[in-house]
Amino acid sequence: MAWRYAMMLDPAASDVSPSSFADTFHAVDPTAPSLAVGELSAQRGDGVFESIGVIDGHPQQLEPHLERLAHSAAICDLPEPHLGQWREAVAAASAHCGPGESVIKLILSRGVEQGPSPTAWVTVASAADNSRARAEGVRVVTLDRGIDSGAAARAPWLLLGAKTLSYAVNMAAIREAKRRGADDAVFVTSDGIVLEAPTASVILRIGGTYVTPAPTGAILHGTTQLSAFDWLTAHGHDVEYRDVPVSALRTADAAWLVSSVRLAAPIASVDGAAIAVDAEVTRSLNAYLLTPHD
């Protein structure tokens, strides 16, 4: 991954409507320090973010990403982001992407300790090469998320449905998966319901229907899963949001991890037991996900 560009934003109030937000951004050197030492995103992971896949300079699924940024901010009691300002920032950042696959990150943090306002910035980088995971698939292990299926409703302060900057647990789960000889993890509740991967949504095919766990507060609503369901529906397939017991993951006709930069990686094994890989559907779905679309 190589940095291409970065900009700091002066977050606008959600109710202003200037003709342009250009004077609220300024470019910074992505390889040089830009944040204050009191920055709460760095001290506490207190903020939210989005990673947007970019194909040939086109940010994929921009509106669902912006909506999720606003949703995450609301869950975390951060000021409502002005989506017009973020849209304009993404358009300016996209100009620095070049051909091929890139990633634009949007970050909104609570700001500097005792400071007056939130901090926000946007980065542009080339995307990591995910061709092997797309072609060969990934081995996953199921890991207990340490919560039951009622936790999101019972304990909203866990911020389970927000894409917060606190990804230390997610990264620890991937390290644990690697220690167990796998490539990635799938989180499950303590009562055996599939949630999501540490950095991806899970889609399964069960009896011909494409199924994903309902984003009812415990997981993120994946923008790639939304795109995949659009494509599957357009190709005449049935899609459904429902609870998925972990046993269904082990016996699925096929399953995928999907996310904005990796796109669709077929799951090749679950807890050491192989599951079928549908190479044809994976190829066609990724061909769609690699085509610029909204």
Interface residue list for ligand PLP (CB under 6 A): 51, 196, 198-201, 220, 222-225, 258-260
How many degrees, rounded to 5, is the angle at CA 162 between CA 106 and CA 247? 120
Do residues 267 and 257 touch, judged by C-beta distance below 8 A?
Answer: yes
CB of 158 to ligand PLP, least distance (A): 13
Of 81 and 112, nearer to ligand PLP (C-beta) is: 81
Select from 46, 199, 59 the least CA-distant residue to 122: 59
CB of 64 to ligand PLP, least distance (A): 7
Integer Cα distance of 129 and 192 in angstroms: 33
Pairing of strands 254-259, 263-270: antiparallel
Of 82 and 145, nearer to ligand PLP (C-beta) is: 145
Integer Cα distance of 214 and 237 in angstroms: 18
CB of 17 to ligand PLP, least distance (A): 28
Is 159 exposed, middle or buried, given 0-12, 13-18 or 19+ CB atoms closer than 10 A? middle
Of 41 and 225, nearer to ligand PLP (C-beta) is: 225
Give me the residues paired with residue 6 across strands.
28, 123
Of 7 and 265, nearer to ligand PLP (C-beta) is: 265
Of 24 and 199, nearer to ligand PLP (C-beta) is: 199
Select from 170, 163, 172, 168 the least CA-distant residue to 107: 163
CB of 194 to ligand PLP, least distance (A): 12
CB of 37 to ligand PLP, least distance (A): 27
Of 24 and 259, nearer to ligand PLP (C-beta) is: 259
33, 180, 181, 200 from 141: Cα distances, Å: 37, 8, 9, 14
CB of 147 to ligand PLP, least distance (A): 14
Pairing of strands 138-144, 263-270: parallel
